Amino acid sequence: MADTRDPDVMVDEDPRKSISAAPSFEEYLKQRAGEGTTAAAAAPAAAAPAAAAPAAGGGGGSDVASTLMNLQGAGHVWGADGIAVGKEESDIKGHDSFKKFAAALQSSGVDLNSGSYTIFAPTDDTCESYEQLRGAMTADIVKMHIVEGKISSKDIPNTPLNSMNGPLTYRYAVRKHFVNDAIIGESTFGGGPDFPIDIDCGNHVIHTVGLNFGFY
């Protein structure tokens, strides 16, 4: 297995061979917010998605589910397939959505009304892949994606991640931030928005991911 640890900083006479120091998670988030790599210089991921506002006095499971039902995720570009249909490779073909996880949350009977939680919500494509390979998403799988406490993305590296179905593991590798093997704040190819994070939902917060924790 390849060594995925960050390489040491190195300065070479040829700048192309130099290795710079990797940013901290907080620095990475600030950098991503200020970059012009997304369409129309998109705002930070937390402000980008058009999510439904939580109900007044809310913070319960229904508020999280309704937010996920209306949440627009990362954009996916046409790539080389777009040329045949008159599209640019960087044109947006579609966006991720989170209706499958929202439905699984609603049917699981998980109670989010008695505390504050962080929800790591997988995309519909991720949920569909899981269902094809493993079967229905059970309440135990849903619980793996729900962590005690309202944890912002910048605090994830230094906060215990105790899900309703056991502890999760944070790690920093290849200059990316992972919970288990799902990247938090993942960037997308082309001009589409990145995976939304820090979606405020009353007593809770939602971070979207492109991998289902149930694969572990």
- pLDDT exceeds cutoff 60 at 107: yes
Residue 204 predicted with pLDDT over 80: yes
- Alpha carbon separation from 105 to 28, 81, 91, 120 (Å, rounded): 31, 35, 32, 12
Distance in angstroms (rounded) separating the CA atoms of residues 94 and 192: 9
- Structure confidence by residue, pLDDT tens digits, 150-160: 999 999 999 99
% of the chain exceeding 70 in pLDDT = 61
Residue, of 186 and 20, whose pLDDT is higher: 186
**All structural domains of the chain with their residue ranges:** 15-215
Structure tokens at 80: 């080389």
pLDDT at 185: 87
pTM over 0.85: no
pLDDT (tens digit, 9 = 90+) per residue, 154-178? 999 999 999 999 999 999 998 899 9
Higher pLDDT, 37 or 186: 186
Instruction: Name the architecture of domain 15-215.
Output: Roll (2.30)
Angle (CA) 50-103-178 rounded to 5° is 65
Looking at the DSSP bridge assignments, the partners of residue 206 are 119, 199
Residue 62 pLDDT greater than 80, yes or no: no
Confidence of residue 95 (pLDDT cuts 50, 70, 90): confident
- Residues 140, 109: Cα–Cα separation, whole Å: 11
Across residues 184-193, what is the average pLDDT?
69
Q: What pLDDT score does 56 carry?
A: 33
